[in-house]
Amino acid sequence: MCGRYALLNPNGLFSRFGVTNQLDQLSPNDDIRPTQLAPVVAMGHRAAYMRWGLIPSWAKDPSIGKKMINARVEGLEQKPSFRRPLRVSRCLIPATGFYEWQTTGRSKVKYQFGLEDGELFGLAGLYDTWLDESGEKKETFTIITTAPNELVGAVHNRMPAILDPADEEVWLDPDETDSLHLLTYLRPFPADALRAQIV
């Protein structure tokens, strides 16, 4: 799973992901947690603040979002909460690192993974819009996870799906709705392109 991540260069997301609008109050955050608001790049290259923990549009109880911080790529196109967003509401979650914990006996060691150059990358995600009782829209997102590469696999049995920059345009393209084709982009990121450090 991916339960924490970092975004230390938030203003870089506009040029890095070709964002078409601006966001206010961006600030670096080295510990973004579930249920917090975070900047996301939605389809059409629209930047928005969304809450981490996907609430499906049809949900009766918004607390379901706390259980939907991640979406496993396996069976993604079949699960009711994710199959529609996979076709019509995909997003990138800008990050400069993500965290995983290695458990040995009773101790836990926290690792941060990021690009060798420390630059921004895009985690593959899905989002949905939920209406509360007053009719106010709440946009929420989930991070897709996949099998780990060799580097992450030494610490944890899952990792977030990091998109190759060459594939980001397709992921954000509203005209791309073929679920099975989209799944081919959700693969483990090359281990030699990432670094790991204990934090």
3-state secondary structure of 70: strand
> Which pLDDT score, from 0 to 100, does residue 134 have?
85
Dihedral sign for Cα 66, 173, 161, 10, please: negative
Bridge partners of 102, per DSSP, are 109
- Residue from 91, 100, 139, 168 carrying the catalytic annotation: 100
Distance CA 99, CA 65 (A): 20
Average pLDDT of span 158-187: 96
Task: Tell me whether residue 91 is one of the annotated catalytic residues.
Answer: no
The per-residue pLDDT for range 93-144, each reduced to its tens digit, is 999 999 999 988 888 999 999 999 899 999 999 999 999 888 889 999 999 9
Look at the chain and count its residues: 199
- Residue from 2, 91, 139, 168 carrying the catalytic annotation: 2
What radius of gyration do the chain's Cα atoms show?
16
Task: Tell me whether residue 119 is one of the annotated catalytic residues.
Answer: no
Distance CA 138, CA 54 (A): 10
Dihedral sign for Cα 174, 172, 55, 13, please: negative
Query: How confident is the prediction for the chain on average, in pLDDT?
Result: 95
The per-residue pLDDT for range 148-159, each reduced to its tens digit, is 999 999 999 999
Stated as kind and residue range, the H or E segment containing 14 is: helix 13-16
Asked if 53 and 47 count as a contact pair (C-beta separation under 8 A), the reply is no
Q: Report domain extents, the chain.
A: 5-198
Indicate the residue type of 80: P
CATH superfamily of 5-198: SOS response associated peptidase-like (3.90.1680.10)
Per-residue pLDDT at 188 exceeds 90: yes
Distance CA 30, CA 114 (A): 12
